[in-house]
């Protein structure tokens, strides 16, 4: 009986059995399993075909070499760890970098100035803190995740990151058009519950459309927009980005937090380009390998963010993100980053802090 633990020699005539098993800890030859195809393969071997079950595995990746899908992130983690000496994880900078100063977002300023604790608490009774994925300021000391003083560690991290993103992306976009978004149209693709769309309206954007594939997110976006008093300038709808064809274009298109949850990256960037008049913003997880490519992910960390339950995502490298923007027809690309609050101790290890999450602006 063939064993998955590497006892068979290539060229022998094995009976193929279950090949699922851990990779060996030793340097013994590795073997490849064919559990599903064993009957057919044995027929082929009986018919004179040669079968070689010896695996050749890169020394950079030994975790679960059997290619059975579920250990993708462990394998990738091992690759990253082992490729450190080759300096493959340098944070490259290939386009102009604009650093946006740290200033409170329009939503933060609005929430601080209103005497609206009762309304905020009423909203949190309708949609309790554990049902909002991210932090959005609602009233002094109070946000969608609850009272700022009593957040758990993951919630506090979410708060820092949410405030950081909301400020540097939307202030950056506003500064690129002269300081405010007055009179402009903006589309927020995969808007979730509308934080960025609402922030755009608070910054003066006149027509703000947001859509998301999940009905529940859009219901919350409408509620939150009502809370911030931006209903007159915001419209939210349920749609799949690959089918969204509004017969119009927008001055600014936001494509935030989506590029690493999908399987058709080129089509997504093309669709973003088609919807945009002036500029598009892409904020995404990126990988640091110095080539234009995609890392296959299974979306196990945030299944509620993927388009469907396919359990398959293509995560771009930093270079792929930039190249895709050019290939889709954008003429110029720059990058935005923020200045983190010095009190955010976790920034150093946050994806934004280590160059694994980046934000580019692509001009048409």
Ligand X SMILES: C[S@@+](CC[C@H](N)C(=O)[O-])C[C@H]1O[C@@H](n2cnc3c(N)ncnc32)[C@H](O)[C@@H]1O
* Residues contributing to the site for ligand X (CB under 6 A): 190-192, 212-214, 217, 240-241, 256-258, 261, 305-307
Please report how close the Cβ of residue 257 comes to ligand X at its closest, in angstroms. Answer: 3
Q: Which helix (H) or strand (E) holds 67?
A: none
SS3 of residue 113 by DSSP: helix
Taking the C-alpha atoms of residue 269 and residue 20, their distance in angstroms, rounded to an integer, is 38
Q: Output phi, psi for 229, to 5 deg.
A: 70, 30
**Which CB atom, from 5 or from 244, has the smaller least distance to ligand X?**
244
In Å, what is the CA distance from 68 to each residue of 23, 72, 358? 12, 9, 30
Cβ-closest position to ligand X: 257
Please report how close the Cβ of residue 17 comes to ligand X at its closest, in angstroms. Answer: 40
Q: Which residues pair with 186 in a beta bridge?
A: 208, 252
Please report how close the Cβ of residue 306 comes to ligand X at its closest, in angstroms. Answer: 6
Residues 294/243, Cβ–Cβ less than 8 Å: no
Q: Which residues pair with 256 in a beta bridge?
A: 283
**Which CB atom, from 240 or from 300, has the smaller least distance to ligand X?**
240
Please report how close the Cβ of residue 103 comes to ligand X at its closest, in angstroms. Answer: 19
Residues 287/295, Cβ–Cβ less than 8 Å: yes
Within 13 A of 171's CA, how many CA atoms are on the CB side? 21
**Which CB atom, from 53 or from 328, has the smaller least distance to ligand X?**
328
**Which CB atom, from 30 or from 268, has the smaller least distance to ligand X?**
268
Please report how close the Cβ of residue 50 comes to ligand X at its closest, in angstroms. Answer: 45
**Which CB atom, from 32 or from 197, has the smaller least distance to ligand X?**
197
Please report how close the Cβ of residue 225 comes to ligand X at its closest, in angstroms. Answer: 15
Taking the C-alpha atoms of residue 142 and residue 117, their distance in angstroms, rounded to an integer, is 8
**Which CB atom, from 131 or from 240, has the smaller least distance to ligand X?**
240
């Amino acid at each position: 009986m063939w064993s998955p633990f590497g006892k068979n020699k290539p060229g022998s005539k094995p009976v193929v059995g279950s090949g699922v098993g851990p990779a060996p800890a030793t340097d013994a030859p590795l073997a490849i399993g064919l559990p599903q195809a064993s009957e057919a393969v044995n027929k082929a071997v009986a018919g004179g075909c040669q079968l070689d079950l010896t695996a050749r595995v890169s020394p950079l990746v030994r975790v679960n070499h059997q290619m059975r899908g579920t250990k993708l992130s462990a394998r990738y983690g091992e690759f990253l760890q082992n490729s450190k000496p080759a300096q493959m994880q340098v944070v490259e900078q290939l386009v102009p970098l604009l650093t946006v100063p740290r200033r409170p977002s329009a939503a933060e300023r609005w929430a601080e100035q209103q005497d609206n604790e009762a309304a905020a608490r009423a909203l949190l009774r309708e949609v309790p803190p554990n049902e909002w994925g991210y932090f959005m300021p609602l009233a002094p000391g109070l946000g969608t995740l609850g009272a700022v003083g009593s957040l758990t560690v993951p919630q506090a991290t979410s708060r820092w990151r949410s405030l950081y993103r909301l400020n540097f992306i939307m202030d950056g976009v506003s500064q690129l058009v002269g300081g405010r978004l007055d009179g402009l149209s903006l589309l927020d693709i995969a808007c979730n519950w509308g934080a960025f769309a609402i922030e755009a309206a608070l910054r003066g954007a006149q027509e703000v459309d947001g859509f998301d594939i999940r009905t529940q997110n859009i219901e919350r976006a409408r509620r939150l927009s009502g809370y911030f008093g931006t209903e007159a300038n915001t419209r939210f709808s349920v749609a799949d980005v690959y089918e969204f064809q509004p017969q119009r274009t927008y001055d600014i298109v936001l494509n935030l937090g989506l590029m690493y949850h999908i399987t058709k990256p080129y089509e997504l960037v093309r669709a973003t380009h088609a919807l945009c008049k002036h500029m598009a913003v892409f904020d995404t997880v990126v990988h640091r390998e110095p080539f234009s490519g995609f890392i296959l992910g299974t979306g196990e960390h945030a299944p509620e963010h993927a388009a469907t339950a396919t359990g398959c995502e293509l995560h771009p490298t930093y270079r792929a993100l930039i190249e895709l923007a050019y290939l889709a027809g954008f003429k110029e690309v720059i990058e935005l980053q923020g200045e983190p609050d010095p009190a955010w101790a976790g920034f150093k290890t946050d994806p934004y802090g280590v160059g694994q999450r980046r934000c580019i602006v692509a001009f048409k």
